[in-house]
Chains A and B, each alone.
Chain A
Amino acid sequence: MASTRSLILFLLIQLCFSVLPLSFAQSPATGSTEGYTIYGRVKIPSVGTKEYILPGKISNVKVILNGGQRVTFLRPDGYFSFHNVPAGTHLIEVAAIGYFFSPVRVDVSARHHGKIQAALTENRRGLSEFVLEPLRDEQYYEVREPFSIMSVVKSPMGLMVGFMLIVVFLMPKLMENMDPEEMRRAQEEMRNQGVPSLASLLPGAARSN
């Protein structure tokens, strides 16, 4: 019963991931029967123009099994290993500042002497080789726009000055295009109503009127 169930489960997993059967990095543990060894490699492309991680400087990368059950570090060549891992389905995460890694689902098969199948959980992509690469770089800071005239103009102060300029220089132009008769009538009206003009708002306006 148990074996059929596990078989069904196995098939289910196969179906779920609908990827080709994978076979790699398998290693039955030597001597001990309690667990298997997971070998893998983390590859960080050095082409990226990263400031925080120098290319090849991987001493601060951690590889984490099952949410913190075990933590290991990378060798200079990027390889890592977990020993004495029982058969079952596990989760491996890579913590590296500056890079986004997808967690990896790792199936360690007891029936096939520790044969390992791995798939990224983020995009359900199976791995034919146990090489983990970052899905993307992580940029923690906003990039400051270089100085441009537009940024000053767009700033509230710039817009204020711009608005002012429009009012000062464009409005009279608009006024000029108006019919002088109509204009005079409008001005007459305004004076009669006593609507304060711009001039009357200013100090000394009373004198000028």
Chain B
Amino acid sequence: MAMAIRVFLLLLFFLSSTNIGFSLFEDQVGLMDWHQQYIGKVKHALFHTQKTGRKRVLVSTEESVVASLDLRHGEIFWRHVLGTNDVVDGLDIALGKYVITLSSDGSILRAWNLPDGQMVWETSLQGSKTSKSILYISKNPKADKDDLILVFGKGSLHAVSGIDGEVLWRKDFAGESIEVSHIIQSTDKIYAAGFVGSSKFYVYGLNADTGKLLKDDHTILPCDTFGELLSVSGDKFVVLDKMRSKILTINIKNGEISYKQKLISDLIKDSSGQAVILPSRLPELFALRIDSHVLTIKVTNEDDLVLVDKINNAAAVSDALSISEGQHSFAFIQHEGSNIHLFVKDVNDWNGDLLKESIIIDHQRGNIEKIFINNYVRTDRSYGFRALMVMEDHSLLLVQQGEIVWTREDGLASVVDVTTSELPVEKEGVSVAKVEQNLFEWLKGHVLKLKGTLMIASPEDVVAIQALRLRSSEKSKMTRDHNGFRKLLIVLTRAGKVFALHTGDGRVVWSILLHTLRKTEVCEHPVGLNIYQWQVPHHHALDENPSILVVGRCGPSLAAPAALSFIDAYTGKELNSLRLAHTIAQVIPLPYTDSTEQRLHLIIDIDRHAYLYPRTPEAIGILQREFSNVYWYSVEADNGIVRGHALKSNCIHKIVDEYCFDFRDLWSIVFPSESEKIIATVTRKSNEVVHTQAKVMTDYDVMYKYVSNNILFVANAAPKATGEIGTATPEEAWLVIYIIDTVTGRILHRMTHHGCQGPVHAVFSENWVVYHYFNLRAHRYEISVIEVYDQSRADNKDVWKFVLGKHNLTSPISSYYRPEVTTKSQSYFFTHSVKAIEVTLTSKGITSKQLLIGTIGDQVLALDKRFLDPRRTLNPSQAEKEEGIIPLTDSLPIISQSYITHSLKVEGLRGIVTVPAKLESTSLVFAYGVDLFLTQIAPSRTYDSLTEDFSYALLLLTIVALVAAIFVTWVLSERKDLQEKWK
């Protein structure tokens, strides 16, 4: 009986579990996933606080985001992520209700409704040449009249109506080759001022209503100029000369151009550095940076320059803010150790400070790059100021009354690379009281949940249940859990900051601004390249903390000097940093670790040397042992060459460096440049585990997977068809696919898709590759799958061979053997454009796989690999159906419940990363773009654990009921026995 019950229970459990998982119920949102919204580094900010009601700040960022933020909490009211090449150049408010953005090099002008972000109108501005773009909105003093929007872009000046975006008039300056840098409006005239070349200064006067050219004037300055022209007031400009030793003051009063010049050395003695005019717009003033000082210089009515003040260690200067009639103020920041001082001064009254505050800002945020100020009226009718600061790590801070009101970690909008780290192991010795408390809480929670399932919960209970689920104290703990759901996601951002995010709730555990990736005089444009797991201690080095390697370079070119940083993954402290003497072209993590579990890495430079890290004798020893087993490849996409390399010997240098090696080319594949161009390469992940080597077919035939770590997928497109869709005809487009063994350089498979073009997104896993491309003939996207099988082991399916030991399974598999491979492939239509494609990874590789497809709509779709099985046929046989082969359809299904991002968007999606959990059925998926999103998915459902929803209370109740029933039946059966005996 008991046995029967157990079997029955087990069976039932399996039956019932088939209904669970895969998709999500609406009330499960936020249980296993989190979503964070960002905007990126702020470029322009405008406060909108005049009206009563919601106070907001409008921003445009380097991630092409236009957003409206709540000034009280920093939350997003609305946000629009524009296209990647639709860079916002100008932001302003028109008519007090529209946000105007100018983007795409001054060719697209859009108006957004201020309260809700609805686009009101969009105007495309025509022009013939590229030029810098300027957005100028003339604030009409008469409220009833339309605001005139003046845009200079594409070499012409446009006047656009603020109400409906209609272009009122257009004046083309393309013929004059003038680079307009300023637009000035006086009552009914518009002046466009700019340079032709670098010394001819032109001013054009136009009629504001018709755009008719009224007059033009020009003057030739005595010397070439440097940098931007800065407007000091309506008709005065300053600019530096080419030598950066003189300041030219240009006045265009009444259309007459006059200029004066003054040596900087007359203003300030003993200055040696290069001067730069800061772009802050201040009335009658301008700011000049020399060395670490900022000089504020007043331009008098007679165009004389008077030095007003010299500020030491100034970091940022804001634009002027008009606080009342004729009163302007501006803010600047002074650094002093970890403190920063914020000064707000009246432009005309230099002696007093309107505001002087000192704030302590976490030094991991770096310097202040930009500051925007806004004023408010205090209860005592005096002016208060709030300042919005953009930090070096791209975060955004609002400071008011000497306090940081809110911060936004907007550096996380530009994640460059991601890796993970395990959390520390839980320390033993938990107090009994805690357990009791937990047990009570646990029971209470489950009783509540039971109420929920039985639908007898009151609304308060429902709220409590939801809160309980979301809080789930377990998931945000800082220790390793049994299932491996809790990890640290370590992300490198474009600002050179490394963040550790907790996978449970997405909070920032630690963050560090790497000094090797900070902008210095030596390193003008540092870029973070990659992040690697440097040390992953388990087994014998458990007391060591894991560490992370961050690779960076000074500038985008390969020849720029490089730097390495090593960071402790638990504490976020930098352990070590190296400025390398050599360059970095490629970093190869080797599959070997030393006694402290530090992974060996080879760094290849552009001069064909390989350097070994860590630089320890032990590492050399390990590498010497494996010397002949180290292979790698390099792809030269521009030349269409793929090369294979191996280590040769120590470097022959003047200085002996035993960590430096020369390498030789083993093979090279040169693709014909007139017909093929490399557009995508993808290889298998080194940490992927393959569980089964063979695949049993429906006819009990065995196919052996060709599983190799040294396998490369290359997609080449026809040179004419490398552009966007719509630029090539099907006749001149083709796609050639190669699968290459990277040790021998042997081409295992080659296939041509005629009439197809890129972009190609591909993912390689086990023995198959899946890739997405565009079919021009059908004018639809396609996804193809290629599976590679090993034919040389195909004879091993006879049982007798195994019995007699005649199989060749034990013979070593080497890349030097000529592999006999067969491939199977199939193609399907796919509806959407794709931004990224990835595959789930599980710890043992037993669970079936799902493809994760980041669509153009910034959603992530999970698609079962079974849909991409080359064995699919139109009418599968009974046996094939039993095996789970889906009948062939021409397109892949899009099941909306299998969007793992459910109703959320990962705006600006750039990449998807999967991390296996310890629990075999589950893997963590992290999608990043402007937003971040993390969830857990179980491609074959959670067959190895109970779901979150499992009702323990109901189980307990059932057990109690069963025990009671047992006793009842016992009593009954005893009574019956007695009756039997009396008979």
Contact = CB atoms under 8 A, between A and B. Distances in A.
Interface of A: 5, 9, 30-32, 37, 52, 58-59, 62, 64, 66-76, 81, 83-86, 88-91, 93, 95-98, 100, 102-103, 105, 121-122, 138-142, 144, 146-147, 152, 154-157, 159-161, 163-165, 167-168, 197-199, 201-202, 208
B78 A69 contact: no
Given A142-B24, A161-B958, A102 B118 contact: no
Interface stretch (B5-13, B145-153, B682-690): B5-13
A32 B1 CA distance: 87
Nearest to A106: B726
A163 B855 CA distance: 48
A95 B858 contact: yes
B167 to A, nearest CB: 10
Contact of B84 (A5, A37, A68): A68
B186 interface: no
A193 B681 CA distance: 73
A121 B974 CA distance: 75
Contacts of B471: none
B729 interface: yes
A30 to B, nearest CB: 8
Nearest to B8: A163
B86 interface: yes
B13 to A, nearest CB: 5
Contact of B903 (A83, A84, A97): A97
Given A95-B856, A141-B24, A142-B897, A81 B122 contact: yes
B170 to A, nearest CB: 9
Given A59-B116, A72-B122, A86-B726, A202 B966 contact: yes
A103 B83 contact: no
B700 interface: no
Nearest to B725: A66
Contacts of B972: 168
A98 B968 CA distance: 55
B835 interface: yes
Given A68-B83, A81-B122, A141 B5 contact: no
A90 B724 CA distance: 9
A142 B961 CA distance: 32
A179 to B, nearest CB: 16
Given A103-B780, A202-B966, A156 B9 contact: yes
**In the A-B complex, the 3 residue pairs with the closest CB atoms:** A95-B857, A83-B124, A71-B83
Q: Which of B107, B120, B454, B965 has the most CB of A within 10 A?
A: B965
Interface-central residue, B25, B83, B120, B894, by most chain A CB under 10 Å: B83
Contacts of B110: 73
B833 A93 contact: yes
Given A52-B903, A71-B86, A142 B23 contact: yes
- Among B29, B128, B731, B970: residue with most chain A CB under 10 A: B970
A89 B25 CA distance: 41
A68 B856 contact: yes
A140 B896 contact: yes
Given A141-B23, A160-B962, 13 more contacts: A67-B725, A69-B85, A88-B727, A89-B776, A90-B725, A90-B726, A103-B780, A103-B833, A121-B831, A122-B891, A164-B962, A201-B2, A202-B966
B974 A199 contact: yes
A91 B725 contact: yes
Nearest to A85: B726
Contact of A168 (B107, B957, B965): B965
A89 B755 CA distance: 13
B726 A66 contact: yes
A73 to B, nearest CB: 4
A85 to B, nearest CB: 8
Nearest to A82: B124
25 contacts: A5-B731, A37-B124, A59-B117, A59-B119, A67-B833, A68-B835, A70-B83, A76-B119, A83-B124, A95-B855, A97-B857, A103-B833, A138-B896, A141-B24, A141-B902, A144-B25, A144-B26, A144-B27, A155-B954, A159-B8, A160-B962, A168-B969, A198-B973, A201-B2, A208-B974
A76 B118 contact: yes
Nearest to B956: A157
Interface in B922-961: 954-955, 957-958, 961
B925 to A, nearest CB: 16
B31 to A, nearest CB: 13
A62 B759 CA distance: 21
Contacts of B116: 59
Contacts of B871: none
B897 A93 contact: no
Contacts of B13: 156
Contact of B961 (A31, A70, A140, A161): A161
Given A161-B958, A202-B970, A93 B856 contact: yes
Most interface-central of A9, A84, A159 (chain B CB within 10 A): A159
Contacts of B832: 93, 103
| B contact patch SS | mixed
Interface of B: 1-2, 5, 8-9, 12-13, 15-16, 23-27, 29, 78, 80, 82-86, 107, 110, 116-122, 124, 126, 128, 453-455, 724-727, 729, 731, 759, 774, 776, 778-781, 831-833, 835, 855-859, 891, 894, 896-897, 899, 902-903, 905, 954-955, 957-958, 961-962, 965-966, 968-970, 972-974, 977
B899 A67 contact: no
Contacts of B8: 159-160, 163
Nearest to B165: A75
Contacts of B25: 141-142, 144
B120 A75 contact: yes
Nearest to A141: B26
B902 A64 contact: no
Given A147-B454, A208-B977, A31 B126 contact: yes
A5 B729 CA distance: 11
B859 to A, nearest CB: 8
A91 B1 contact: no
A156 B16 contact: yes
Contacts of A146: 455
Nearest to A74: B119
A160 B12 contact: yes
A140 B24 contact: yes
Contacts of B85: 69-70
A121 B779 contact: yes
Given A73-B119, A100-B894, A122 B725 contact: no
A62 B84 CA distance: 13
A163 B4 CA distance: 10
Contact of B729 (A9, A74, A97): A9
A66 B724 contact: yes
Contact of A67 (B2, B24, B759, B968): B759
Given A32-B126, A98-B903, A144-B27, A157 B726 contact: no
B856 A69 contact: no
A160 to B, nearest CB: 6
Nearest to A6: B729
Given A75-B119, A202-B966, A69 B724 contact: yes
Contact of B9 (A72, A73, A160, A202): A160
Contacts of A64: 83, 833, 856
Contacts of B121: 75
Interface centre among A155, A156, A160 (most CB of B within 10 A): A156
A69 B758 CA distance: 13
Nearest to B26: A141
A30 B455 CA distance: 65
Contact of A161 (B778, B857, B962): B962
A67 B854 CA distance: 12
Contacts of B858: 95
A71 B958 CA distance: 57
Contact of A160 (B5, B24, B117, B774): B5
A138 B957 CA distance: 39
A88 B733 CA distance: 14
A29 to B, nearest CB: 8
